[in-house]
Chains A and B, each alone.
Chain A
Amino acid sequence: VTDESELSRVEQMLRSTPPPLEVPEHLERAARGAALDPDVTRSRERRLARRRTLRGRLLPAAAVLTAAVAASLVIGVGGRSPSITVVQTVPLAARAGAASGTLQLGTIRGRMRPIVLRVQNLPAAPKGHYYEMWFGDGRKRIGLLPFDTTGGRATVVSAIPAGITWTACWVTLEDYHEGGTAPPVLSSVGAT
């Protein structure tokens, strides 16, 4: 027999868990083949190695930085209750549509500053796309915070390097493969 409080905890856990993704059908055969057929494994490893080599040649410093960013910045996406000491809240508004949000900045810890991004009424990114939060000062810009929404909402608990200077932040819809400079779907008030 499970008591009501336990059921409530499970419900909260479900609500704060990002939805699972459907596995492409072709992957089962590929994954099974990769595991059972050493030739397939070697071929895949060569492909991955080529990809690593190419990218390593083109973007060595960038790859290291991005790995660090990917590993150290995004702490969680979902509805969890974040626990940071908020020292500043930046409102985000859409240039069109009903989307809105806030970016809360916490107290700097070491070289990082915790943040909580909340958005509402922002439809889930179309297939092959994701949202990304950017920071910039008019000359430089840096994309740091990839996320997606569920039911139009997202709460992203993360951290940004404390050393970056920025005067505006904004959210763009990005293509998985292209990256680039998509126009903002949300931006801090007053940002251009």
Chain B
Amino acid sequence: MESTAALGRLPALALPVPVRQRGRVARVDYAGLTDEQLLGRVADHRDEDAFAALYQRYSRPVYSLIARLLRDRTTGEDVMQEAFSAVWRAARSYRQDRGSVVAWLFTIARNAAVDAARSRRPVSFGDPPESIDLEPTPDVRVAADMEAFRVHVAVDSLPRRERDVIALAYFEGLSQSEVADRLGIPLGTVKTRTRSALGRLAERLEREGVTS
């Protein structure tokens, strides 16, 4: 008989469901599941823990995207809720052959933000110009948003200690010496973690088709 521990080592493409054994439900290792597996569990089993795991993985990139597009964190919070509601409602509509979960989530979040932007009050202006280009957002902007989203996702997928080094060095602009001081670790460790993190990011981004 298969042991409970063995359930943590599931095949990559399997969609494990809690298995009842003598009245106990075997625990699913959500952290070890792929995005597709988590979304599959949400779609097929309405699995709230899988939904929570997706939220943990993607809340920061999604929130960053929405807040950046709307430039308003208060509205952004409502839109964030709307976006994850859409994930819950529309999980069944995801098709792996049409793209990654990352791309699917990006589209949902961006659409939610654009819908909200259409109803926003103006920032402020005097007499508006008579003609404004009403064409859809330029592709170049969507591509830049997508790239930032994927980079945020990739950084959030790093082990915590590597993620901290990357965030301080590249998002806060600290030198490696300053990162070492801030984290209280040797400079050599900062360099090692940075290099390791960059390698992981390169692999992840190449898988996502960002750097290849």
Contact = CB atoms under 8 A, between A and B. Distances in A.
Nearest to B56: A28
Of the candidates B89, B123, B129, B211, the one having the most CB atoms from chain A within 10 angstroms of its own CB is B123
Interface string A40-74: 01001001100110011011011101111111101
Interface string A11-51: 10111011111111001101110111000010010011001
A16 B92 CA distance: 35
B170 A11 contact: yes
A52 B117 CA distance: 10
B134 interface: yes
A161 to B, nearest CB: 5
A180 B120 CA distance: 16
B39 to A, nearest CB: 13
Interface stretch (B14-22, B98-106, B135-143): B135-143
Interface stretch (B3-11, B27-35, B59-67, B180-188): B59-67
Interface of A: 2, 6-7, 9-11, 13-15, 17-24, 27-28, 30-32, 34-36, 41, 44, 47-48, 51-52, 55-56, 58-59, 61-63, 65-72, 74-78, 80, 110-112, 128, 130, 132, 136, 139-144, 146, 150-151, 161, 163-164, 174, 176-177, 179-181
Interface of B: 48, 51-52, 55, 59-61, 63-64, 67-69, 71-74, 77-78, 80-82, 84-85, 87-89, 114, 116-138, 140-141, 144, 147-148, 151-152, 155-156, 166-167, 170-173, 195, 198-199, 201-203, 205-206, 210-211
